[in-house]
Chains A and B, each alone.
Chain A
């Protein structure tokens, strides 16, 4: 492990240790926050009992579906918008301000239209993630060196092989940035939607546990979400970093 990685672990260990100490000594009221060791213990018990497995599978399934849909549609829309400069000019102000609008205000509208089901949650996930993917696609396509088009013609490549063998790999780092953002936004939107109003899912279970003062259950599931979101993002980050280093984009 690198020194930076080791330092990172030490920082996390110190933060967790301080929280444990504060909870154990009564500095933080046990009724408000339970010690991290109890959170972990509650999580292990919950996972072994299997009673939350359906909710876990449901939530992560929706996140995965929302991210996949956002990435595929975002890429497709990005390609179309890139090919139509006037449409792009018309849409760009909306993209620039999209994340300034709290799009959760539309969640009740979606529930009114689609009912209290998976669909509004999925749509919130897609709606939150897709614009990041569209913007990343536009950035990626903008940055494809023009000379690659000439190289393709010298090699007498058709439009499809040029797109797949040259343009897509050239744009890939930017597209991957879009994927990373889509994963983050997808997670946030799905959990938050479930938390606000949903028939099931981890967000709903956390919300119920909060209402019932069931701290071990609430913190166990919060810990699960934090761990999963952190691990997924770290894996994406590590992959991105190694890829970028190889291509001379990241740190030397």
Chain B
């Protein structure tokens, strides 16, 4: 199946979803998101870009079931998502979420042990995930002994072993340097191809979104709504070398056209954005 396959099933969807945070004492409620409509196709790689504070992470958390939608419906594999993260969804966060008191191996095995899988199966899946993520030689290391990029790979491995069908990545490379981010992008593409999972990536980096995704959704300043959804048209077998292609420049250019004004709005340059 290619990225442009037209008859893909809807894997997860948001329909008329809004999220309004109740105001703290003496403050107005904050309308963070929506209304947003989005159908994620089974097996696609979808990225969301937008200005800071536009509700990208809120969108991810609503889709994951980590936050309730104020209005609208969220479904995953045809079932409504309400109040609990459904089985089959894995989330990797921007913050370092590795457990510093556990080794890399034990970090990765955490969810499998919680699910009560037999030891042999745990060992098989963890060893496999660590080999896949290039962490095999660090299985006995503690997260503090690893770089930021490697710690994030531990978190990805911990998600990967649970064999999620929908992987939500909330700016997982936000804290990494540009070169490491490109290489991590290749890792995520490998992971996506191997698992066949649907991936939703939240990022503020246009190049990252353009390189990794089948489709990129550009969001407006708060309250975040989709201004444009760009089909990248990349083949499934791709890696970071596509950043040198002309098409890559076209995609990032189109995304920036959408986002320039919105980013200025979010920074308070309303007048300049209108020009």
Contact = CB atoms under 8 A, between A and B. Distances in A.
A145 interface: yes
Contacts of A145: 95-97
A156 B90 CA distance: 11
Given A154-B85, A172-B101, A248 B143 contact: yes
Size range of the interface on B?
A: 20 to 34
Contacts of A147: 93, 95-97
Nearest to A243: B101
**Would you call the interface of chain B mostly helix, strand, loop, or mixed?**
loop
A150 B142 CA distance: 21
Given A246-B142, A248-B145, A151 B97 contact: yes
Contacts of B87: 156
Nearest to B111: A155
Interface centre among A151, A156, A157, A165 (most CB of B within 10 A): A151
Interface in A148-174: 148, 150-151, 153-157, 161, 165-166, 169-170, 172
A169 B95 CA distance: 18
Contact of A169 (B64, B85, B97, B99): B99
A161 B116 CA distance: 14
A88 B204 CA distance: 38
Contacts, number: 55
Size range of the interface on A?
A: 20 to 34
Nearest to B85: A154
A148 B158 CA distance: 13
A156 B85 contact: yes
Contacts of B209: none
Interface string A222-252: 0000000000000000000000001111000
Interface centre among A148, A150, A165, A249 (most CB of B within 10 A): A150
Nearest to A146: B95
Interface string B93-113: 101110111000000001100
B245 interface: no
6 closest Cβ pairs, A-B complex: A248-B144, A147-B95, A169-B101, A247-B100, A147-B97, A154-B91
Interface of B: 61, 64-66, 84-85, 87, 89-91, 93, 95-97, 99-101, 110-111, 114, 142-145
19 contacts: A145-B95, A145-B96, A146-B95, A147-B93, A147-B95, A148-B99, A150-B91, A151-B93, A151-B97, A153-B84, A153-B85, A155-B110, A155-B111, A155-B114, A156-B84, A172-B101, A247-B142, A248-B144, A248-B145
Interface of A: 145-148, 150-151, 153-157, 161, 165-166, 169-170, 172, 246-249
